[in-house]
Structure 1
Amino acid sequence: MEAPSEAQLPRRTGGWITFPFIIATTVGLALAFVGWTSNLIVYLIKEFDVGSIDAAQISNLVNGAGSLTPVIAAIIADSFLGCFTTIWISSIISLLGTILLALTATVDSLRPKPCEVGSTSCTPKSKGQYVLLYTAIVLATLGSGGIRSTLATIGANQLADKPKDQGIFFNWFFFFWYSASVVGSTAIVYVEDNVSWKAGFFICVAANVLGAAIFLLGSKFYIKFKPEGSPFTSLARVIVASITKRQVALPSIPEDFFQGSLKCLIYDCRFLNHAAIISEGDVKSDGSISNRWRLCSVQEIEDFKTLIKILPLWSTSFFLGTTIGVQASLSILQALAMNRHIGPNFQIPSGSVLVFVLLSTTLFLALFDKFILPTWKNLTGKSLTPLQRIGIGHVLNFLSMGVSALVESKRLNVAKSNESSNIVPMSVLWLVPQLVIVGIAEALYFPGQVSLYYQEFPITLKNLAIAMISVLVGISFYLATALIDVVRRTSRWLPGDINNGRMDNVYWILVIGGVVNFGYYVICAWYYKYQNLKQVDSPSDE
């Protein structure tokens, strides 16, 4: 018998052979997205004459959409298109938006002409220029959001038969994503500030093209799983089926519930139990469900109840995310009005100040695993539980807002003694402590929440852990936008020139809100009962 030719040999797919393609794609697309979003506020103010607070609001909306879009993309990928198709379509959308954004920085007619202060012959601003700008921002944001969650999922799917390798993959995936984010928010932002916006944005375009091209080059090596449905769909079916059968009396016979027993359903959230009642025509002769929107299994209902039980704890983090959104946007405005020089020849780009949050989060995570957690265990004899970790994050969060208020108060005092200049002779490094503290807080409560959800959720809802964080962050940025808008409408604390405002009062409001929110968290945590006590007492390494 002849040996099969090379063309006849089965092609190797899946496994670590796909890793270089996934990671290279991750780096390229992260550089592209972070490279323009980090400096968006500055671009809007300097090139499109957008008011400083309005620019901060737009940035918050972009960050919010960037966090919510991955959830929507995950649902689309799980239910309809699959990860591979969702990624390449999103890559094209992201590329189109980034190209349009680069064109606004390249073609003079696509952005407003600069107007000297006091001039009476300024060219009127064109609505078309702003329509093109915002179209570019929307496309680039939606495209990038559609890539993030699905790219991590398709990478993990290649190692579906090796759970331990999946953990290793996620570690490297987030390492490269954060590393690329640091480069994007420093090197690319530096090019935008010191070379040209055109050069910086076209670097983002090149990174997007390269990332998408490398992803498609690896196509023949990927295992492409067919869509199997989203966990959100299962949760929606429970609600619909419960409402549809709300007038049907709950039976007392276990056999009248689909795939479950009466014992499972007799206690909390009895209204949802209606979804598992078997009515005439609900089950086919082969035992399958004829209409999944009218009948759910007991397990699906219990999964939904697990989610309901944890929602109060989840809701306590909305204010945390809101403070992060407010601080992130206002810190860039503060940096613009401060002395950013380090030495005679180097100036820190204002859009790069948030890199201190990324760095402190990354470094603290390393210290937490290698030093802090073992030390805590040696002193107390117990591991730090997810609820304790989240609670410490709450405290650090409002402490960071307090530091922000004190620093801004000092900055305003210096500004008043130097009214002749818009740039306050106070180093931008004064902002570092507050950014470092909030970075440490993020390293505590965001991973703490993911750990809590993975620990408490049944296996069918494990994928919701990351999704819940994304929804939380997305909504929080919108709440930050709303909060800033309310402050602007009801006070004079946030004028166009922040040197004439009272931004410190905004931070003090966040401190008060943070303390109240922490009290709410303590109450929720006190009454919460762990579903998996063994994992709390002896948490696994994973």
Structure 2
Amino acid sequence: MELNDQPKKHVEVVNNSQHKAVEDTNNVLMKHSNRGGWTTFPFILGCMFAIALATGGWVGNLIVYLITKYNVKSIDATQIINVVLGCFFLFPIPGAILADSFYGPFIVVVVFSIVSLVGMTLMTLTAAFPSLRPSPCTNMSLPCESPSKLQYGVLYTILGLTCIGFGGTRFTTATMGADQFKDPNSVATYFNWYYCALYVAGAISSTAIVYVQDNVSWTLGFGISAASNLIGVILFLSGTKFYQRIKPTGSPFTSIARVIVAAVRKRRVSSRNHEFNYDIDDKSNTSPSDSFRFLNRGAIKIESDGQKSKSWSLSSVQEVEDLKTLIRIMPLWSSSVLLSGLVGMFNNFIILQALAMDRHLGGSNFKIPAASFLFFNTLATAISLFIIDRFIFPVWKKLNGSPLTPLQRIGVGHVLNVLGLVLAGIIEVQRLHTARSHNLIGISTGMTSVVPFPALWLVAPLIVVGISEGFLFPGQILLYYQEFPTSLRGTSTAMVSLLVAVGFYLSTGITSLIRKSTAWLMNDLNDGRLDIVYWLLAAIGVVNFGYFLICAKMFQHKLDKYDDNMDNTSSS
């Protein structure tokens, strides 16, 4: 009896073991399937908020730091800032490429945020140790001491580290957050909250941290930014077990290059009566689109291709269509480059205007820091994002039967930006009129004399430009995220950063051209004509808006079908 029971017991043990193994496997699968979603939201958004706070505390008052602590002339300081911001918005591109192609966004965010932490720590040391800066400029009748080559070298090294760190983190975090959601509506909501938190952090840093830097201590102000950066790293790492990680599949740019090479090699092959090469998971076998037909040759199968499904002489139809998508969207992208340059010049000139105006709040002794005026810009953007998401979108959809498209949002941003430049020009006319009436023109001492004209007038154009950014940049990032190939999702969000970077470099060129050709931009604003510069920028904005309308009219969305609520069913 006992001998006969042993096989049964053995079978029961085996069955129990198999059942436990299946159960353990199901638990693992369930554990991984539960990753992502809104559970990751506090960690990713908290990290982004903390690092954005550190970024604002670093770059928001940098122009004043260069003028007051490094004795850099005002217009030269704006040129340095343009280059710094250009680099800051350029580095998200290599960050996105590394995330998409090699390491994934998680590793990229961790490494780049640590680099930014090193940069911020070193920046704090420049404020703490006077030997790292030139001697203070106390006698205004004598030229101020310029930074030595060593001091400039240390400064530029620190600026490079912070640009690489903050730049590489900024939009890679955005992409990783979007990758946590499968529902398109959740992705759109996430991007709205992302930008809202981004601008709220900017508003806090441009007021609280800037005030500490101007009125308490630069060392403490930069130290707060470094501490915020450290908190961001800790928050991000705290959510490690909740993240859904998408493994990179190799460089998508290789497939783009392969399409071009294959199409050139087969330039003499007719695209008719040939079989095309399709991806394994492409069940539709739809013929390539008719646009940019020359590229279709890259996917034509001929005898010399052999058995290889992908090579430098043969691409898939999907790879061809991905490249066409990039080509179609580039004119639209270019229409926002100049606009980004105008925004950068506006922000720099507003700070210089504020330095030359009465910044006292009412009749009190409290004086608003010049860089803190950008708070009204970021606050207006943050509030407008909430109003757009909660009120304008529902009302627009109710009245028109369709949602406000990304292209429509971008168009509104163009118009409001021009209006903001016009308002800034009008205020500068009044400021110069007050300067003349107080005989403050023609007495330049190397720095702009303060005109008794309330700087709070600058709030009006700052609010208008802030609202324009609430329409412009979220519309841009959503458009690119929708239209770019899936393999380039990380690069798609970084494209917004790239256009801002190119815009800042372009604004540096425009500023230099104006300085060489005219006397409108002077280190003493009272001796220049900044108002004419604003009229010129507004005119450029109008012409650029016309170019945008042409690009939007000609733009064709990619062939994939989106959810109706993804705001991409129309081109204008």
Range class of TM-score, shorter chain: 0.7 to 0.9
Structure 1 position 97 matched with structure 2 position 97: no
Paired AA for residue 254 in structure 1: H
Decide whether the 8 Å contact of 1:100 with 1:132 is kept in 2: no
Aligned residue in 1 for 2:412: 392
Distance in 2 between the 1:62 and 1:197 partners? 19
Aligned residue in 1 for 2:6: none
SS of 1:426's equivalent?
Answer: strand
Shift of the alpha carbon at 1:364? Answer: 2.0
Q: Return the match for 2:460 from 433, 457, 460.
A: 433
Shift of the alpha carbon at 1:171? Answer: 4.3
Q: 1:230 to 1:181 in 2, by over 3 A?
A: farther
Q: 1:348 to 1:525 in 2, by over 3 A?
A: same
Structure 1 position 175 matched with structure 2 position 192: no
Shift of the alpha carbon at 1:329? Answer: 0.8
SS of 1:346's equivalent?
Answer: coil
Decide whether the 8 Å contact of 1:456 with 1:532 is kept in 2: no
Pairing of 1:407-486 with structure 2 (within 5 A): 407-419=427-439, 422-454=449-481, 456-457=483-484, 459=486, 463-486=490-513
SS of 2:91's equivalent?
Answer: helix
Distance in 2 between the 1:476 and 1:84 partners? 28
Distance in 1 between the 2:461 and 2:334 partners? 24
Distance in 2 between the 1:308 and 1:128 partners? 45
Q: 1:223 to 1:454 in 2, by over 3 A?
A: closer
Decide whether the 8 Å contact of 1:322 with 1:480 is kept in 2: yes
Q: Return the match for 1:84 from 85, 106, 119.
A: 106
Instruction: Describe the superposition over 1:8-55 as per-residue Cα deviations: whole angstroms up to 9, x where unpaired.
Output: 996956335544433332232112111110000000000001111111
Paired AA for residue 364 in structure 1: S
Distance in 2 between the 1:463 and 1:119 partners? 53
Paired AA for residue 440 in structure 1: I
Structure 1 position 337 matched with structure 2 position 360: no
Decide whether the 8 Å contact of 2:406 with 2:475 is kept in 1: yes
Structure 1 position 269 matched with structure 2 position 292: yes
Q: 1:23 to 1:120 in 2, by over 3 A?
A: closer
Shift of the alpha carbon at 1:142? Answer: 0.8
Paired AA for residue 376 in structure 2: F
Q: Return the match for 2:318 from 288, 299, 313.
A: 299
Name stretches of at least 5 consecutive residues in structure 1 with no aligned partner: none
Larger deviation, residues 468-477 vs 223-232: 223-232
Aligned residues: 533
TM-score (norm 1): 0.88
Decide whether the 8 Å contact of 1:250 with 1:273 is kept in 2: no
Aligned residue in 2 for 1:328: 347
Distance in 2 between the 1:371 and 1:516 partners? 31
Distance in 2 between the 1:349 and 1:508 partners? 26
Q: 1:199 to 1:464 in 2, by over 3 A?
A: closer
SS of 1:425's equivalent?
Answer: strand
Aligned residue in 2 for 1:494: 521
Decide whether the 8 Å contact of 2:278 with 2:318 is kept in 1: no
Distance in 1 between the 2:43 and 2:395 partners? 39
Aligned residue in 1 for 2:94: 72
Pairing of 1:223-242 with structure 2 (within 5 A): 223-242=244-263
Aligned residue in 2 for 1:185: 206
Q: 1:376 to 1:246 in 2, by over 3 A?
A: same
Larger deviation, residues 194-203 vs 252-261: 252-261
Shift of the alpha carbon at 1:504? Answer: 0.9
Distance in 2 between the 1:161 and 1:534 partners? 15
TM-score (norm 2): 0.84
Shift of the alpha carbon at 1:82? Answer: 2.2
Larger deviation, residues 228-237 vs 324-333: 228-237
Decide whether the 8 Å contact of 2:97 with 2:491 is kept in 1: no
Distance in 2 between the 1:160 and 1:375 partners? 26
Decide whether the 8 Å contact of 1:98 with 1:201 is kept in 2: yes
Q: Return the match for 2:64 from 39, 42, 46.
A: 42
Q: 1:56 to 1:529 in 2, by over 3 A?
A: same
Distance in 2 between the 1:48 and 1:432 partners? 28
Shift of the alpha carbon at 1:456? Answer: 4.8
SS of 2:275's equivalent?
Answer: helix
Paired AA for residue 71 in structure 2: D
Shift of the alpha carbon at 1:131? Answer: 0.8
Aligned-pair identity (%): 47
Q: 1:83 to 1:197 in 2, by over 3 A?
A: same
Aligned residue in 2 for 1:140: 162
